[in-house]
Structure 1
Amino acid sequence: MAGIITLIAAGALLVVWSSVSTSDSTTEFSFHKEPHGTWYIDLPDYPGPKGDLAMVAGADDMLDYLAKGKTRVEVEMSEQPFAGALELVRVKLGEPGGGAFYKPTNHQIESVWLCDVTLYALGKFPEKIYFKAVG
């Protein structure tokens, strides 16, 4: 299934966010855009097919916004607000295999869908995700 986070939303060097994320911590994920235009989260240890790591359904639009024309972007994320962060609020959980829908509260993008790879990357579908580009 194609997707994650997004972000959002959206990547990358973390296997389970909840095991290292505290109220004061943030985690960075890397994303890259291939020449054909598809964004992917960089999760080198992910056990499934590459297609699962594709960013679609609004997550790609958020990455385009964050990357400002570049083909690679590092995104800092947390379940707690932090300086300069945008906010995603979970509005609907899908069935197993159905991901979750998020609403950006301080951005014009209408909706961001995060697939079940989010569970691999973050350990759950957080109620809120705060994020910003850092590289």
Structure 2
Amino acid sequence: MPLLMGAALLVGWARTAFEPIQFAFYKEPHGTWYIDLPDYPGPKGNLAMVAGADDMLDFLAKGKNRVVVAMSEQPFTGALALNRVKVGEPGGGAYYKPENHAIQSVWLCDVTLFALGKFPEHIYFRAVE
């Protein structure tokens, strides 16, 4: 999941599958995490991180209200892993299982398709800020 930069990321993810890209996430005072995608054409509510993604961001942010996360389809130093378990129907997002982590499931909504262009089989990630 700044784990950001809208349309530029679509090209970036495809071009840099071996190099991590970065997205920023922020937590609002009421406790909801959002991905920072200023070019996203839909409503802000679609950018909310829920169903395990919020728990993962709490873990990565270590008590802060903002975190920048590097992501790649390939393993990289210090990265945790998410393995795709199931892709839902159109509009249904995809479910991922964190590898070696207490969080049991992470659901990523279809905004992932805007940010990454697909639901990768594996997503490797770590906090960088």
TM-score by length of 1: 0.89
Q: Does 1:116 align with 2:101?
A: no
Q: Structure 1 stretch 11-20 or stretch 32-41: which is displaced more?
A: 11-20
Residue 125 of structure 1 is aligned with which of 110, 119, 122? 119
Alignment counterpart, residue 37 of structure 2, candidates 36, 40, 43: 43
Q: How has the CA–CA distance of structure 1 residues 16 and 110 changed in structure 2, closer, same or farther, with 3 Å as cutoff?
A: farther
Q: Distance in 1 between matches of 2:112 and 2:53?
A: 12
Shift of 1:15: 2.5
CA RMSD of aligned residues (A): 1.4
Percent identity, aligned pairs only, is 70
Question: How many residues of Structure 1 are paired with residues of Structure 2 in the alignment?
Answer: 127
Is 1:15 aligned to residue 2 of structure 2?
A: no
Unmatched runs of 5 consecutive residues or more in structure 1: 1-6
Question: Greater helix share, 1 or 2?
Answer: 2
Q: Which secondary structure does the structure 1 equivalent of 2:3 belong to?
A: coil
Alignment of 1:83-94 (within 5 A): 83-94=77-88
* 1:61 maps to 2:55: yes
Provide the residue aligned with 1:107 in structure 2. 101
> What SS class does the counterpart of residue 102 from structure 1 fall into?
strand
The alignment partner of 1:40 has SS state of: strand
SS at match of 1:70: coil
Q: Which has the higher contact order (CA 8 A, sep 6+)?
A: 1
Contact 2:6 2:39 in 1 (8 A): no
Normalising by structure 2, we get a TM-score of 0.93
Tell which deviates more after alignment, 13-22 or 112-121: 13-22
